Structure 1
Amino acid sequence: MLIGGLQKNSLIDYPGKLSSVIFFSGCNFDCPYCHNPELARGCPACQADLNTSTIYNFLEQRQGFLDGVVVSGGEPTLQKDLVDLCKRIKELGYPVKLDTNGSRPKVLTDLIEKQLVDYIAMDLKTDSMRYATFIKGDYTPDELLSSIRIIMASGIDYEFRTTCVKPIVTSGAIENISRLIRGAHLYALQRFRNNGVLHPEFFRGCDYEFSSDELLQLKAVAERWVGNCIIR
């Protein structure tokens, strides 16, 4: 497994829980605003000293202190041993949250059916009409749609989230996304921070940031279809 990092303590990555975050290296998406460029590129030197034994030993030592474990990236569903890792984490008594881009619906189904994941957060980069223009990578629209359906029918906790950055996201895109996930448990609109992103050249000379008022307007659009919409 390509483990890119371990954040030992986090109060923000798993809602309502003190968690540790395991970051995997490598991603099949190429998002201009990605804030983990080293992980996205699959940097082989990232945390080369980390392996599954180190992770398991750490989690064993933190039993009774941590409330959960987040599996993030990069894109964790690309890791062939992800099921085994989640199984081991669950055996240690931890709830597991998965962060994903939704490009591997079969992996999601496997994890859900085996009860190896307790919370899924899926990124919705933009609406289906804009993905091909702004989000390059190894995926199909049908895979993303399948993942949305699988997550919403799973019976476990979940959220969808969109990083709000112009021109990738528009009011129309938010409306289309919200229609698609109508009735979802939670939809989070995330503020974009132009700091250490994957493709900084994308934002040069570009009005990329939504103001607080504009974010509230996007939230109002989303709330027509998703009752529980928040701004992060």
Structure 2
Amino acid sequence: PSESIISYISENREFLDGIVVTGGEPLTQKDICDFLEKVKRLGMSVKIDTNGFFPEELRRLIQLGLVDYVAMDIKAPLIPEEYSFIAGRKICERDIDRLRRTISLLSRERISGEFRTTIIESYHTLERVERIVNELPPNATYVLQQFVSRDYLRIKEGTTSKEYILKLVEFLGEKYGSGLRIEPRIYE
């Protein structure tokens, strides 16, 4: 299937500036490096959406110059029990260490990117969101995404209100605004 994607990009590159590789988790694909090399040869920019659990794979792609922008999801405070609840699977201390290594990598490599959390109003209290912020580099971009309820999702919550997202953005902006860039991403 990657050859058909490369063919599509090649045929339409006059209309494209770049691509977004998302998932599942794109860093688990064994041919990701070869695929991105072909994409870069076509002159495309590459954005990777990642869950942050594969810092070594991401480091390799960055060092090879195959990634231009990284968006890392941070689902919850970096505490195994909290992360497990939101992720819907067991998260251990080793997993949390991998998330921290990815955050550190993105800070050191100075690659363009963002950290983002999908805000579930009943779960992501101000205190929890602050614990996430305290893990981020001081000059990071942090995006608060609106959770949009869907019947097929494991989490059965209502859509997070626009007002709640904006309240969090305002509070965080006042407290951390000198370096940290806080952005809302509202869908409804």
Q: TM-score, normalised by structure 2?
A: 0.86
Q: Distance in 1 between matches of 2:46 and 2:107?
A: 17
Q: Which of 135, 151, 164 does residue 87 from structure 2 map onto?
A: 135
Question: In the alignment, is the contact (CA less than 8 A) between 1:122 and 1:161 conserved in 2?
Answer: yes
Question: Structure 1 regions of 5+ residues with no counterpart?
Answer: 1-50
Partner of 1:110, secondary structure, is: helix
**Matching residue's letter, 2:77:** D
**Matching residue's letter, 1:211:** S
Choose between structure 1 and 2 for higher RCO, CA contacts under 8 A separated by at least 6 residues.
1
Asked if 1:228 corresponds to 2:178, the answer is no
Q: Which moved more, 1:94-103 or 1:147-156?
A: 147-156
Asked if 1:110 corresponds to 2:63, the answer is no
Question: In the alignment, is the contact (CA less than 8 A) between 2:22 and 2:48 conserved in 1?
Answer: yes
Question: In the alignment, is the contact (CA less than 8 A) between 1:120 and 1:158 conserved in 2?
Answer: yes
Asked if 1:94 corresponds to 2:47, the answer is no
Q: Distance in 2 between matches of 1:119 and 1:155?
A: 10
Return closer, same or farther for 1:154/1:196 CA change in 2, 3 Å cut-off.
farther
Question: In the alignment, is the contact (CA less than 8 A) between 1:179 and 1:225 conserved in 2?
Answer: no
Hey, which of these two has a bigger chunk of helix by percent?
2
1:175 maps to what in 2? 130
1:148 maps to what in 2? 103
Question: In the alignment, is the contact (CA less than 8 A) between 2:48 and 2:70 conserved in 1?
Answer: yes
**Matching residue's letter, 2:98:** E
Question: In the alignment, is the contact (CA less than 8 A) between 1:159 and 1:184 conserved in 2?
Answer: no
Overall identity of the aligned pairs, in %: 33
- RMSD over aligned CA atoms reads 1.8
Q: Distance in 2 between matches of 1:187 and 1:120?
A: 12
Give aligned pairs, total. 177
Question: In the alignment, is the contact (CA less than 8 A) between 2:71 and 2:115 conserved in 1?
Answer: yes
**Matching residue's letter, 1:133:** F
Question: Structure 2 regions of 5+ residues with no counterpart?
Answer: none
Q: Distance in 2 between matches of 1:86 and 1:176?
A: 34
Partner of 1:194, secondary structure, is: coil
Question: In the alignment, is the contact (CA less than 8 A) between 2:119 and 2:146 conserved in 1?
Answer: yes
Within 5 A, what are the aligned runs for 1:1-232? 51-129=1-79, 130-137=82-89, 140-199=95-154, 202-203=155-156, 208-223=158-173, 224-225=175-176, 227-232=180-185
Q: How far apart are 1:209 and its partner, in Å?
A: 4.0
Return closer, same or farther for 1:132/1:71 CA change in 2, 3 Å cut-off.
same
